[in-house]
């Protein structure tokens, strides 16, 4: 969110170089890679995989001291990366700042990068949502296009982007962006726009929600038949909600409850909490909507992952499962409490947060990744870790560490992990991407990724 960008205005913009970054040696079966390798903090990691070529990856991050977004491309499955900026770094970080990157790739290999930007960079300035695109990994990025004018709205925040890549969808190739729009009366809504010409023009925003007035953290999932699902957090009702559109995002049905929260409110956190592992930000539910479009046994299922919290604090990675009509199959609506999955029960007092999920569209496997303080009594050293389900989200493996080195945002000079991390999966290979502090003293927060496969879970008990 814009808090990251606004935090940079007190810093001096740093000069950085653009180049290729080679991966480091990691645990057996996988390599960890410093994707950014840049001086100055990077946060809000995001990643996508090309649906036609799983060796092609696209990633992004907030580059706080540059006042812009960094975009990274790989054509070798994430072993090496090129870095660039979608908009030029600013000489004065007071002038403008960008945040909340999102990435997507369509079936033709066209790449998309969404973000919001505010100018000048100060809390009361309006923010706008933009999308840039390029024709493939070797193409030049277009000038970012404004998705929607504010009109009578006050500001736009935290866009999410997705592409309908189903060859049997009536809306194949359509690009969707959903975000939080804040009215002049400071009422938050979730809105959605779409583009049928590769992001050059965008439809008038459609209001997604029917109730609530403090909404954010939009997430988009698209089914094989083109049905669009949008989830979000509702701080006014202490809940996570989801709805769907069967006409390409023109209209949305009523909300369905994903989860409810019972906690002691922190005034500036909404339904979030503060953890020792990330004392500089509020840990939010951050829902991720994923739809199984594999055509397999569980095809059509809708999964919503989030960080489960209660008045006792962090509970861990939670998952609610729906059928295609949003009838609950498992999770909070049926249990009356969060369904915590993917954690090691032996680490009872560990905290897991900033949960991200994705479905492998080739086999229907559901992946969950999150920060995990297991093994640290102080609960400040967190390894980015992942778990996988191959039975429609019914059971999950014990987590495997994607990061061999713990990150610790409680250290002096640390800022925060960012408001989300990323995950892309294809053909049995997962690419988690996260904010990492192992080079905090020399480079500040870096963006790391790794490759995880079935072999990485073979020895997990």
E strands, 196-277, are 206-207, 215-222, 228-234, 239-245, 256-260, 273-275
Q: pLDDT for 286-337, tens place per residue?
A: 999 999 999 999 999 999 999 999 888 899 999 999 999 999 999 999 999 9
Separation between Cα atoms, residue 68 and residue 7, nearest integer Å: 13
For residue 412 the two structure tokens come to 């002096």
Tokens of 247: 């006409």
The confidence score (pLDDT) of residue 30 equals 63
User: Residue 345's pLDDT is what?
Assistant: 84
For the chain, list the domains and their CATH numbers: 1-146 (2.120.10.10)
Q: Rounded to an integer, what distance in angstroms lies between the CA atom of residue 350 and that of residue 317? A: 12
> 256's torsion region: left (phi>0), alpha (psi -120 to 50) or beta?
beta
66 vs 28, more confident: 66
Lowest mean pLDDT of 54-58, 64-68, 109-113, name the range: 64-68
Is the distance from CB of 100 to CB of 5 less than 8 angstroms?
no
pLDDT at residue 92 in the model: 81
Q: What pLDDT sits at residue 460?
A: 60
Q: Which of 19-28, 102-111, 175-184, 409-418 is predicted least confidently?
A: 19-28
Instruction: Say yes or no to pLDDT of 61 above 90.
Output: yes
Per-residue pLDDT for 71 more than 70? yes
Query: According to the model, what pLDDT value does residue 27 have?
Result: 46
Helix (H, G, I), strand (E, B) or coil at 268: coil
Tell whether the model's pLDDT for residue 5 goes beyond 60: no
**Whole-number pLDDT of residue 89:** 86
CA 25 → CA 29, 40, 42, 200, 339, distances in Å?
A: 10, 23, 22, 41, 35
pLDDT band at 372 (very low <50, low <70, confident <90, very high): very high
Q: For the chain, how far is it from start to end, CA to CA, in angstroms? A: 37
| Greatest pairwise CA separation for the chain in angstroms | 57
For residues 250 and 265, the model is more confident at 250
Q: Is 459 helix (H, G, I), strand (E, B) or coil?
A: coil
pLDDT-above-70 percentage for the chain: 93
Cα distance between residue 206 and residue 213, in whole Å: 16
- Quickly state the pLDDT bin for 157 (edges 50, 70, 90): very high
pLDDT at position 245 is 98
Higher-pLDDT residue of 312, 107: 107
What does the pLDDT read at residue 11? 36
Looking at residue 22, what is its pLDDT?
Answer: 39
Residues paired with residue 103 on neighbouring β-strands, in sequence order: 113
**SS3 call for 6:** helix
- Under 8 Å between Cβ of 430 and 388: yes
Across the range 392-412, mean pLDDT stands at 96
**pLDDT higher than 70, residue 84:** yes
Question: For residues 225 and 374, what is the distance between their CA atoms, to the nearest angstrom?
Answer: 40
Q: How far apart are CA 461 and CA 456, in angstroms?
A: 12
């Amino acid at each position: 969110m814009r808090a990251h960008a606004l935090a940079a205005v007190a810093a001096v913009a740093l000069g950085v170089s653009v180049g290729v970054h080679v991966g480091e040696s990691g645990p057996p079966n996988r390599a960890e890679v410093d994707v950014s390798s840049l001086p100055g903090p990077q946060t809000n990691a995001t990643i996508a995989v090309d649906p036609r070529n799983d060796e092609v990856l696209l990633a992004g991050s907030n580059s706080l001291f540059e006042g812009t977004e960094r975009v990274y491309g790989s054509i070798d499955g994430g072993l090496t990366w090129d870095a660039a900026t979608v908009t030029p770094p600013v000489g004065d970080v007071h002038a403008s700042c960008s945040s909340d990157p999102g990435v997507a790739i369509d079936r033709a290999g066209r790449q998309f990068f969404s973000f919001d930007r505010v100018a000048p960079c100060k809390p009361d300035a309006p923010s706008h949502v933009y999308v840039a695109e390029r024709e493939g990994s070797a193409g030049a990025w277009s000038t970012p296009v404004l998705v929607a004018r504010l009109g009578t709205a006050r500001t736009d925040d935290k866009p999410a982007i997705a592409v309908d890549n189903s060859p049997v969808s009536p809306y194949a190739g359509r690009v969707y962006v959903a975000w939080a729009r804040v009215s002049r009366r400071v009422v938050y809504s979730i809105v959605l726009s779409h583009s049928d010409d590769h992001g050059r023009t965008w439809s008038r925003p459609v209001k997604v929600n029917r109730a609530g007035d403090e909404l954010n953290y939009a997430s988009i999932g698209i089914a094989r038949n083109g049905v669009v699902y949008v989830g979000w957090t509702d701080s006014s009702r202490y809940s996570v909600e989801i709805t769907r559109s069967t006409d390409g995002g023109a209209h949305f049905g009523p909300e369905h409850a994903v989860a409810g929260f019972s906690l002691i409110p922190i005034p500036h956190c909404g339904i979030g909490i503060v953890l020792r592992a990330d004392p500089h930000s509020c840990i939010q539910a951050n829902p991720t909507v994923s739809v199984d479009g594999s055509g397999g046994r569980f095809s059509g299922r809708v999964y919503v992952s989030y960080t489960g919290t209660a008045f006792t604090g962090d509970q861990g990675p939670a998952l609610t499962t729906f059928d295609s009509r949003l009838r609950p199959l498992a999770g909070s609506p049926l249990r009356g409490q969060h369904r915590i999955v993917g954690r090691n029960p032996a680490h009872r007092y560990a905290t897991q947060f900033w949960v991200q999920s994705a479905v492998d569209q080739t086999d229907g496997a559901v992946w969950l990744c999150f920060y995990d303080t297991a093994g640290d009594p102080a609960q400040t050293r967190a390894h980015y870790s992942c778990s996988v389900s191959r039975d429609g989200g019914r059971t999950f493996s014990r987590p495997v560490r994607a990061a061999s080195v713990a990150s610790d945002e409680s250290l002096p000079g640390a800022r925060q992990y960012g408001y989300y991390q990323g995950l892309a999966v294809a053909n049995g290979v997962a690419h988690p991407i996260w904010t990492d502090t192992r080079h905090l003293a020399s480079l500040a927060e870096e963006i790391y990724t790794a490759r995880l496969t079935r072999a990485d879970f073979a020895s997990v008990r």
